[in-house]
Amino acid sequence: MIPYPTVQDASVALGRNLTLFETVWFDYSATKSDFHVYCHTILVLFLVFSLAPLPFVFVELTGWFERFKIQPKVKYSLSDMFLCYKEVMKLFLRVVGTLQFVTYPSIQMAGIRSGLPLPSLMEIVAQLVVYFLIEDYTNYWIHRWLHCKWGYEKIHRVHHEYTSPIGYASPYAHWAEVLLLGIPTFLGPAIAPGHIMTFWLWISLRQMEAIETHSGYDLPWTLTKLVPFYGGAEYHDYHHYVGGKSQSNFASVFTYCDYIYGTDKGYRVHKKLLQQYCTALRALGSIMILVVIGIIGFTYYALVVANYGPSLFLGGFDSLLALLVLALFHFLLIMLLWSYFSVVVTDPGGVPPGWRPELDIEKSDGNQEYSSLTVGDSSSHIVRYCRKCNQYKPPRSHHCSVCGRCILKMDHHCVWVVNCVGAKNYKSFLLFLFYTFLETTVVAISLFPVFLVFFTDGDSDVTVSPGSLAATFVAFVLNITFALSVLGFLIMHIMLVIRNTTTIEAYEKHTAPNSPYNLGRKQNFEQVFGKDKLYWFVPLYTEDDMKRMPALRGLDFTSRSEESEPLQSL
């Protein structure tokens, strides 16, 4: 309690007039005991925990800054975040509230004061720097211990329930962890005691930093970007993303401990490997084309040169059978190669430079309440933004790290074709699968009689040389393996076409089977293969289909809601 009855008495005791802040502090605390003032710490923490995450809640719900979301595929609803807040508040009242009463003697012993004069700005800054450094170092070692097997399974596992953290989840933890990590928070003020206001400012800044670190957004304009060796949201998000097995990025605020003790190697290796992986895929693609051509060439030798080619000159049924097999094989081979190289050389569809969804942008410019900018769900009609390409992207498009750009209606990046599979080459890809299955099946059936000779004792009617027999055996195994593998892949993509969804969308949350683009089997099929039936089995589109079907170009897709609008207006 301030030992002065009036402001004038305080001024006389200090030998100067009170500053504005000191006057306000006098009015606030003059009639309160030190214990009463200290108990207001819980109010400070409650306000910080309740209010500081609200901007990130707003950002998450509106999607305005989706371009800066670290894990854009993870979405949290208002109910999800409220549930987290409710659990945190229960823990807050049970643990933190109790601590306020039992830790007061230690605060007195440490020498934290609540009277006058108030500390100077330089004193506050110096103490805060000391507090942050002490907290960061001690927190590092406690956090690292919590990732040992016992510590994680018994205590720290609760905090890692959020693999993609949110602001309200920063204090979400086991009660024992709250107590343990409270030690670094109080250690700095105990070593370098100051005023209770400095203490309140310290715990407020520390919790606000933790909330930002757990926000899930790497915002480029935050002031913490100016702090040397600061970790930040992207740095700590990796720790949560890896989960219990993480032995990296333990530091709470700065990165120097992780650097000194080598516990940021996993993070640095991860980023380096990701870059190398993309580079390796690009290099591997060229090799895979040679592999495909090699398999086709080897199959051609086994079927045509070693077996059915010579049979053409035997006469009778053998010649007729050989002619039918070779005609069907060459037809399927031509269609396979046509479809394959069509996938390889056709641009899957990139977002045009400077592309802007004019209708939605006009709405957002003219309506302050329009909050649909940059929402990351690919099944949504709202405007989306790629922070890697730094441009808007249409619905259903995704960024490919290997190609280094956004792909229209991206399905996946295929190593076998050295290309992304997207809006403009998806039909060619499906036909490639279709003709590959037919061709490998025909080859396997055609070579099966000769394949059986490999297991006989030489009493078969089929006579082939040992070299041809070995080539036939290998070709049969290769083709039957590819036939079975491609069949499963083909069935999967047929189901995707029927539902009008992509591989990426099928694995995203809140998508498939109720995709808004599911217009019925007929229209879904036409959005991939076109309306002209004569072109369904060739990797081409008619000019009329390209003009009247925007979905084939990958920039605009009809949804069920748009289909129903004309009916509702009648």
In DSSP notation, 169-223 reads GTT-S-HHHHHHHHHHHHHHHHHS--BHHHHHHHHHHHHHHHHHHTSSB--TT-G
Mean per-residue pLDDT, 225-251: 80
Residue 144 has pLDDT above 80, yes or no: yes
pLDDT tens per residue, range 262-314:
887 777 776 777 666 666 666 676 688 888 999 999 999 999 988 888 888 87
pTM of the model: 0.56
Mean per-residue pLDDT, 527-551: 83
Active-site annotation holds for 420? no
Confidence of residue 75 (pLDDT cuts 50, 70, 90): confident
How much is the pLDDT for 277? 66
Range in 148-157, 363-372, 407-416 with the lowest mean pLDDT: 363-372
The residue from 257, 386, 403, 414 that is catalytic is 414
Alpha carbon of residue 348 to chain centroid: 22
Confidence of residue 567 (pLDDT cuts 50, 70, 90): very low
Confidence of residue 369 (pLDDT cuts 50, 70, 90): very low
Alpha carbon of residue 38 to chain centroid: 43
- Contacts of 138 by beta carbon, 8 Å cutoff, 6+ apart: 183, 184, 187
Confidence of residue 419 (pLDDT cuts 50, 70, 90): confident
Mean per-residue pLDDT, 205-233: 84
Task: Pick the most confident of 32-41, 450-459, 544-553.
Answer: 32-41
What whole-number distance in Å separates Cα of residue 401 and Cα of residue 151?
36
Percent of the chain past pLDDT 70, that is, above it, reads 87
- Cis bond upstream, residue 117 (ω within 30): yes
What whole-number distance in Å separates Cα of residue 262 and Cα of residue 269?
11
What whole-number distance in Å separates Cα of residue 570 and Cα of residue 194?
74
Residue 365 has pLDDT above 60, yes or no: no
> Which is higher by pLDDT, 376 or 514?
514
Mean per-residue pLDDT, 253-257: 87
Among residues 219, 165, 211, 179, the alpha carbon closest in space to that of 50 is found at: 211
* Contact of 504 with 413, CB cutoff 8 Å: no
Residue 387 pairs with which residues in a beta bridge?
A: none
